[in-house]
């Protein structure tokens, strides 16, 4: 070997040896970390309170997920989420973490080739449009509930089936042991034949309280703040003047962006009712509801109080009303009640409490039960296995549909409406009027339409 080639060999060998010593333990799956090759790289779209709070914290707790990109139209929230992600992962992974990229436009994040999956925590009117683009671009999706309209839900389900991407409707309740217990009792005959389900939800917006002077000031039109891309925040929604109390968080109480408490809280508790009733892929055949609404042109215009009656083809009835969060399952052999958000389960007889369900009788998923963030654990498990999640696009859509048809009934003056869950349309009296309702379908503002999605995709 010549001296030159020998020197080259030794130089290369030394470089390799040095490089080997610098490989961080986290990249190899040591120090209680998952190896880098096994992590699911996540993009967070919507970094507000629930996005950068609840969802990001759950992803931090789950070693299989690694947040590498964030997106928000609010510059402060976007940069705040980026800073939180980088601080967490640099402390946990060291040099193995390459930083977090921040975006204003969700399309730029979705088109990142190194993003495996996205978590969507935007206002409701953006959920389906972003989720559909992500799935078409080859990303798996965990998306906050609910859909904005019934038609959007149908599109979401159709795209998920065609693309075969893993989709999780983000609700941690299916991993909560107390809800699972109630469902297991109902589905395993402990309560006999389930006859009636009561779903209690909190009231919404301001009809039941006084508005403070500070809140009243925030109800006036103003110039959008410089740190907010208001046009992109509106997206497919109609153009209206910026009003502070109609944007962050409080968009829930305006029909342009959401369906109020019935779709917001209902997406959690009505879903537990659907699960207990074994009707995840269908819905009621009849709905009638009454509610109190503010002036429809008000900043908040969704129902503040409501009373809904539904009937399924099986004869099971469901009552939904505004009071406190809760659910009651009533059967021929007794009832179970949870009054309060994740409160203790009560029963008509103590013999209905403390039962265990093994094997196929346990409809929950033990691997994601018992702690916060079960929806993210279930999601990542399914990304690995390619099996359906515990709250699929179909199941979420069917739950959201109940909130939408209830809103239609209330907004049509308490009309008793017939719903065909197979055809997914109203039939019978007032069907034409009901099927044209904005809770069923509505136009999207250009260019933020489903027709444009394919032209946005450029994964590279």
The pLDDT score that the predictor gives to residue 84 is 97
From first CA to last CA, the distance across the chain in angstroms is: 44
Check pLDDT > 70 for residue 214: no
Backbone angles phi, psi at 245, to 5 degrees: -75, 5
What's the CA gap between 460 and 107, in Å, rounded? Answer: 12
Buried residues in 134-169 as b, exposed as e (16+ CB within 10 A): bbbbebbbbbbbbbbbbbbbbbbbebbeebebbbbb
- What percentage of the chain exceeds 70 in pLDDT? 90
What's the CA gap between 122 and 46, in Å, rounded? Answer: 5
Question: Is the model more confident about 88 or about 296?
Answer: 88
- What percentage of the chain exceeds 90 in pLDDT? 81
What's the CA gap between 274 and 403, in Å, rounded? Answer: 12
Nearest to 48 by CA among 204, 207, 194, 251: 251
Average pLDDT over residues 189-202: 97
What's the CA gap between 347 and 344, in Å, rounded? Answer: 10
The answer to whether 179 touches 276, Cβ cutoff 8 Å, is: no
DSSP classification of residue 145: S
pTM equals 0.91
Q: How far is CA 392 from CA 171, 226, 273, in A?
A: 10, 38, 15
Q: Sign (positive/negative) of CA torsion 261, 267, 272, 273?
A: positive
Determine whether 314 is exposed, middle or buried from the number of CB atoms within 10 Å of its CB (0-12, 13-18, 19+): middle
The pLDDT score that the predictor gives to residue 152 is 98
Average pLDDT over residues 403-423: 98
Average pLDDT over residues 176-181: 96
Q: Which two tokens stand for residue 208?
A: 């039941």
- Span 177-363+394-443: which CATH code? 3.30.360.10
Give the angle subtended at the CA of 152 by the CAs of 57 and 390, to the nearest 5°.
45
The pLDDT score that the predictor gives to residue 12 is 37
The pLDDT score that the predictor gives to residue 295 is 78
Average pLDDT over residues 214-221: 70
Backbone angles phi, psi at 322, to 5 degrees: -90, 125
pLDDT (tens digit, 9 = 90+) per residue, 2-40?
A: 333 433 433 333 333 333 334 344 454 434 578 888 999
pLDDT (tens digit, 9 = 90+) per residue, 84-138?
A: 999 999 999 988 888 999 999 999 999 999 999 999 999 999 999 999 999 999 9
The pLDDT score that the predictor gives to residue 253 is 92
What's the CA gap between 62 and 55, in Å, rounded? Answer: 11
């Amino acid at each position: 070997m010549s001296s030159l080639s020998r020197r080259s060999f030794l130089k290369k060998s030394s470089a390799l040896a040095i490089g080997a010593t610098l490989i961080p333990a986290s990249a190899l799956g040591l120090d209680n970390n998952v190896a880098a090759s096994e992590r699911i790289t996540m993009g967070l779209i919507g970094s507000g309170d629930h996005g950068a709070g609840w969802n990001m914290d759950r992803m931090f707790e789950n070693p299989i997920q690694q947040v590498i990109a964030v997106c928000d139209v609010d510059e402060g929230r976007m940069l705040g989420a980026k800073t939180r992600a980088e601080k967490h992962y640099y402390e946990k992974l060291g040099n193995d973490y390459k930083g977090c990229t921040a975006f204003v436009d969700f399309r730029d994040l979705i088109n990142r080739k190194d993003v495996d999956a996205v978590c969507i925590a935007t206002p409701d009117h953006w959920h389906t449009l972003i989720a559909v683009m992500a799935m078409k671009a080859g990303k798996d999706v965990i998306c906050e509930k609910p859909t904005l309209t019934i038609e959007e839900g149908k599109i979401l389900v159709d795209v998920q089936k065609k693309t075969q991407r893993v989709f999780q409707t983000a609700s941690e309740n299916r991993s909560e042991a107390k809800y699972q217990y109630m469902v297991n009792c109902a589905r395993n005959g402990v309560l006999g034949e389930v006859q009636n389900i009561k779903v209690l939800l909190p009231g919404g917006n301001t009809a039941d309280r006084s508005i403070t002077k500070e809140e009243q000031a925030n109800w006036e039109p103003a110039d959008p703040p410089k740190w907010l891309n208001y046009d992109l925040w509106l997206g497919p929604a109609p153009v209206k003047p910026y009003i502070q109390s109609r944007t962050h968080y409080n968009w829930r109480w305006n029909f342009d962006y959401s369906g109020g408490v019935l779709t917001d809280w209902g997406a959690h508790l009505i879903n537990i009712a659907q699960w207990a009733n074994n009707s995840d892929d269908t819905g009621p055949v009849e709905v009638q509801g009454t509610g109190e609404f503010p002036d429809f042109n008000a900043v908040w215009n969704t129902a503040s109080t409501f009373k809904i009656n539904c009937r399924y083809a099986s004869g099971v009835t469901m009552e939904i009303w505004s009071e406190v969060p809760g659910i009651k399952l009533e059967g021929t052999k007794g009832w179970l009640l949870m009054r309060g958000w994740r409160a203790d389960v009560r029963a008509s007889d103590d013999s209905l409490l403390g039962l265990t369900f093994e094997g196929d009788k346990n409809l929950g998923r033990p691997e994601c039960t018992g702690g916060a963030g079960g929806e993210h654990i279930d999601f990542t498990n399914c990304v690995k296995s390619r099996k359906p999640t515990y709250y699929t696009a179909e199941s979420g859509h069917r739950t959201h549909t109940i909130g939408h048809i209830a809103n239609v009934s209330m907004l049509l003056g308490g009309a008793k409406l017939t719903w065909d869950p197979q055809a997914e349309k109203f039939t019978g009296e007032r069907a034409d009027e009901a099927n044209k309702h904005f809770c069923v379908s509505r136009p999207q503002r250009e260019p933020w339409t489903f027709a444009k999605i394919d032209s946005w995709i450029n994964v590279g």
